[in-house]
Structure 1
Amino acid sequence: MRLLCAAVVCLVGLIAAAGVRADDLPLGIKGQDDRIAVDGRRYPWSTIGRLTRGDGSLCSGVLIGPDLVLTAAHCLWNDTRQGWAATDELFFAAGLTDDLPTALSGVVRTQWPREYHGPGDLSLDNSAHDWAILTLRDPIGTRAGWLGVSDLSPETYDRYRQAAPVLIRAGYSVDRRATVHAHLGCHLVGWARPGLLAHDCDATEGDSGSPVFAYLDGSFRVLALHVSTFREGSPEVWGGAIPAGPLVREALANRAVPNSVLAGGQQGDAPLASGLLAILQRGHPTGGVAPSGQGDQGNTAAFR
């Protein structure tokens, strides 16, 4: 099906959109470096995985079902061959701590939106379609757990703002690739384009495909998918993230995911990071979704 093309990455035009090689310098740290190492053996960190492909480069991804991974479409581009990666060269390792995974699997299927134009289109508009669903060979989510997917969209943005959840972005930065690192308490700050949110979470090369998520209604849920880093109309650097609502609606319409992805996450066999829940349930004085979220499309200067 070509919602989703079939095997995937583009270097979206921004500053640093791709899964990258270890000798590249990290970009996308916004002010102080707020990334902290977390225990990949504990849920929800166990659901965050490192995606590697045949050319040696890496990205991040998140389990959203027993055998389903959400990541950035550009993470499937083989730089060496200058073509889409075959499934047999893709490998997903969930919940890494000191390079030891909670669970790992190969990939048997890849799907991404027909509207994603691939490596040649460097626009933010193309970045809004830069997502992919991977089907794993093994249902490692039964061990590592998985996150639910929210219905965050322009229509529901205010509801999430009023809920004021503490936001988290977690993935595998290329300079810290052996262990999952997280930024707790970052923000969605507005719309860069229709279908693409701007955020201030620290995210560098290798973090493409990582989730921006929160604890909502008794479950950890993906709010948005980090796919790019950009600077437009402002000296500041921003992260670009696709809201989960439109993404999951398209995936459901094309049968890329089952309806169960909306039911919430599952812990699997991984022990809970119980201290994290206490932090998240205390909340944040301003929440993680800025009131300017419905502000000027494409005007980064207005986001704050």
Structure 2
Amino acid sequence: MLHRIVVLVSFLFAAGIAQAQDTMLRRLSTGEDSKGWEAVGRLDLAGAGFCTGALIAPDLVLTAAHCLFDPESGNRIDQSRIEFQAGMRNGRAEAYRWVRRAVVHPSYRYDGPVSAERVRNDLALLELEQPIRNGTVTPFKVARVARPGDQVGVVSYAQNRAEAPSMQDVCRVKGRQQGVLVMSCDIDFGSSGSPVFSFAGGQKRIVSVISAKAQAEGERVALGSQIDGSIDLLRSQLANGVGILKPTISQARRVRVGDARETSGAKFLKQ
């Protein structure tokens, strides 16, 4: 699930900043490769496709809001049939958890034209039925700000690489428009909800969530939500009882993964 958007915008690249060359995607196919990234997982969406999510607390997964909607009907997916598979690699995950509640950013609207506002607010927080506390999966911290010129990285599942996550160690924040981060990161269908990391000070912190892929000035780019205070807002919604509670489902039940669906080529502006 990833919106394909043709972005008819212009943005200023950070001037005077030395920029590292983007690295290629590399598959995290072994336990050694995946060490430290086990809290990134695949979200199986009621057998209708998948997204990527990341654990930010033992029982909370951060992802993109549009992952919770059926792209054909526009209706919310039954969250009790969404399963988070932490560190899924080659058919096996570090932990499997069903989703108990899910909240989306209160300003997010799935229907209507794709816009900067929609991408900016494309965030959701999933509360798991049971916390993940196995000693291997360590939740990530979140940072509020990413600036043009910053070097970032992304870990994602995607179309044709759904069985193991891939890591792009180096990509760049090329600009920021109306709260949307424009990045050079290599993403594809299924990468929706993927965490974008800052490595400043030698610490991994999530600074954005992948919402869409696009074109800008003839170049393929990734669009990400700006975190800012949105995580606190989503946590507050959960604390205030927002979100539909579903009956507990046996962990033995598994969701069968279907192919990720492509959406139509929505545009910010008409050509």
**Correspondence for 2:194 among 210, 230, 234:** 210
- Quick check: 1:50 aligned with 2:35? no
Aligned to 1:71: 63
Structure with greater contact order relative to length (CA < 8 Å, sep ≥ 6): 2
- Quick check: 1:122 aligned with 2:114? yes
Question: Runs ≥4 in structure 1, deviation > 6 angstroms?
Answer: none
Q: Percent identity?
A: 24
Structure with greater helix percent: 1
- Quick check: 1:248 aligned with 2:240? no
Q: 1:81 deviation in Å?
A: 4.9
Q: Structure 2 length normalisation: TM-score? A: 0.74
- Quick check: 1:150 aligned with 2:143? yes
Check the 8 A contact 1:174/1:205 in 2, yes or no.
yes
Q: Distance in 1 between matches of 2:127 and 2:44?
A: 15
Check the 8 A contact 2:158/2:187 in 1, yes or no.
yes
Aligned to 1:196: 180
- Quick check: 1:99 aligned with 2:83? no
The runs of 5 or more residues in structure 2 that have no matched partner are: 8-20, 241-267
Instruction: For residue 228 of structure 2, give the secondary structure of its aligned residue in structure 1.
Output: helix
Aligned to 2:161: 176
Q: Structure 1 length normalisation: TM-score? A: 0.66
Deviates more, 1:115-124 or 1:180-189: 115-124
The runs of 5 or more residues in structure 1 that have no matched partner are: 1-8, 17-30, 258-297, 299-304
- The amino acid of 1:62's aligned partner reads A
**Correspondence for 1:84 among 59, 76, 94:** 76
Q: How big is each residue's C-alpha offset from its partner over 1:68-92, in whole Å with a ceiling of 9 and x where there is no partner? A: 0000000011246541011221111
Q: How big is each residue's C-alpha offset from its partner over 1:42-61, in whole Å with a ceiling of 9 and x where there is no partner? A: 44210111011124211100
Aligned to 2:170: 185
**Correspondence for 1:231 among 211, 215, 219:** 215
Check the 8 A contact 2:196/2:208 in 1, yes or no.
yes
- The amino acid of 1:181's aligned partner reads S
Check the 8 A contact 2:103/2:238 in 1, yes or no.
no
How large is the Cα RMSD of the aligned pairs? Answer: 2.8
Structure with greater strand percent: 2
Aligned to 1:278: none
Aligned to 1:34: 24
Q: Distance in 1 between matches of 2:88 and 2:143?
A: 25
